Structure 1
Amino acid sequence: MTNRLVVFDCDGTLVDSQHSICAAMTRAFEEARLSPPDRPAILSVVGLSLPHAMARLLPEAHSDFHDHLAERYKLAFQALRRAEGVQEPLYPGIVDLLVALEESGWLLGVATGKSDRGLDLCLAHHGVRDRFVTLQTADRHPSKPHPSMLLTAMAEAGAAPETTVMIGDTSFDIDMAAAAGVRAIGVGWGYHPPDMLIAAGAHAVAMDSAELRAHIDAA
């Protein structure tokens, strides 16, 4: 029997990390003596791996400089964490949703642009790390929307595309799901607007955790 698998994005889907992401991005650009992007521009690239995000924010720069800015971002985020300035609260209803999905037989996974370390710290902080059977990050995969994260998650969980659902807040998540042949459900509380998610091919967009569970159960 093929397992049923729900794969969640992290930033903008499980947790609201926009304050910390914007703060770290601003510091990274300022330390490189560049004018930082505004908040909408920063949030528009959340979910991409860092070099890809930097390439979108600074398309005229060379790829080596994108890598340099990505490293500055990582250092800035680590400095925020040391100063206890990282804010990544779970969205309302997420823990209850995870519990309910597990109880109804779904396996849970994460596919995120975070690093392994960042994801582990985030999930452990909220006490939900052990609820996930597969964790896929930017450290081991090409950037979204490449399907590598989802393909590996399905292999590790013993799931098939027809029994897997991707949950995300950005068009990158929806595009990744399409590339992997997986059903995609958007969430309307994240960083890309619902109409963008629908245009990218989301089968539905949930506006709260209860609606999201209903869409998952119907998948």
Structure 2
Amino acid sequence: MTPRLILFDVDGTLVDSQAHIVAAMSTAFAACEMPPPARAEILSIVGLSLPQAMARLAPQAGPDDLARLVEAYKDSFSSSRRAAGLEGAPPLFPGMMDLLDTLAAMPEAVLGVATGKSRRGLDHLFEAHALAPLFLTVQVADDHPSKPHPSMVRTAMAETGIDATATVMIGDTSFDMEMARSAGVAALGVGWGYHPGAALTQAGALSVADDAEALRLALETAGKAPA
């Protein structure tokens, strides 16, 4: 049986972290005495690495101010994570835990993560939801250029020995779809995240699922190597 690699984005795809992200970003801008972006603006950059995200949210800021924003965001997010503990971790979207368990039980499926989160942030989520055993390859922002650069997908394929014809990337933003396209792999969008479905389709999504069951059905054909 030919193995296939199924890569998941995290924020907006597996977990509903928008409240945590918006709060940390607003706190970071306030700490740097800068007006906070609107909620929609903040959610539009989810998936990018922090330096790229801050550059989009504060285009007039200089390098020093952008660096201060990045550190202020990290401090705010870390503080709120410690205060909330594992019980306060962002929840998984409905049906996603069952879907992950179903896929992990398939002998041909190899699961991975490609996320703009830091390793520390991802480790916290993995511990809170007992996710670590499900994923064979884990790619985080600490080790790669920001999405939509294809480095995360290419590294995941190299680590697992699975080529592009048998790989699919699942995400909620156009950055995920563009990353998949640049790596030459299939892309599936989810409609419950931070970019509208039309933007995902325009960026290269084969389809956009409205719920976990629709995503499972889409996965029956996407990312399968030719017989």
Q: Shorter-chain TM-score: what band?
A: over 0.9
Q: After the TM superposition, which parts of structure 1 deviate over 4 Å for at least 4 consecutive aligned residues?
A: none
Gaps of 5+ in 2: 223-227
1:11-30 alignment to 2 at 5 Å? 11-30=11-30
1:92-131 alignment to 2 at 5 Å? 92-104=94-106, 105-131=108-134
- 2:225 corresponds to which residue? none
Percent identity between matched residues is: 57
1:1-219 alignment to 2 at 5 Å? 3-84=3-84, 87-104=89-106, 105-219=108-222
CA distance in 2, matches of 1:29, 1:112: 23
Residue 7 of structure 1 contacts residue 167 of structure 1 at CA under 8 Å; is this kept in 2?
A: yes
Q: Deviations over 1:6-38 (max 9, x none)?
A: 000000000000000000000000000011011
Secondary structure (helix, strand or coil) at the match of 1:107 reads strand
CA distance in 2, matches of 1:119, 1:64: 27
Deviation of 1:101 after TM superposition, in Å, equals 1.1
CA distance in 2, matches of 1:116, 1:2: 30
CA distance in 2, matches of 1:100, 1:94: 10
**TM-score, length-scaled by structure 1:** 0.97
Secondary structure (helix, strand or coil) at the match of 2:165 reads strand
Deviation of 1:218 after TM superposition, in Å, equals 1.3
CA distance in 2, matches of 1:160, 1:2: 11
What amino acid does structure 1 have at the position aligned with 2:78?
Q
Secondary structure (helix, strand or coil) at the match of 2:94 reads coil
Secondary structure (helix, strand or coil) at the match of 2:200 reads helix
Q: Deviations over 1:89-115 (max 9, x none)?
A: 000111110111122221100001100
Deviation of 1:3 after TM superposition, in Å, equals 2.7
What amino acid does structure 1 have at the position aligned with 2:140?
T
Greater Cα shift, 120-129 or 141-150? 120-129
What amino acid does structure 2 have at the position aligned with 1:110?
V
**TM-score, length-scaled by structure 2:** 0.93
Deviation of 1:65 after TM superposition, in Å, equals 2.4
Q: Deviations over 1:148-177 (max 9, x none)?
A: 000001111111111000000000000000
Residue 32 of structure 2 contacts residue 68 of structure 2 at CA under 8 Å; is this kept in 1?
A: no
- C-alpha change, 1:63 and 1:2, in structure 2 (3 Å) is farther
CA distance in 2, matches of 1:98, 1:63: 40
Residue 2 of structure 1 contacts residue 159 of structure 1 at CA under 8 Å; is this kept in 2?
A: no
Deviation of 1:74 after TM superposition, in Å, equals 0.4
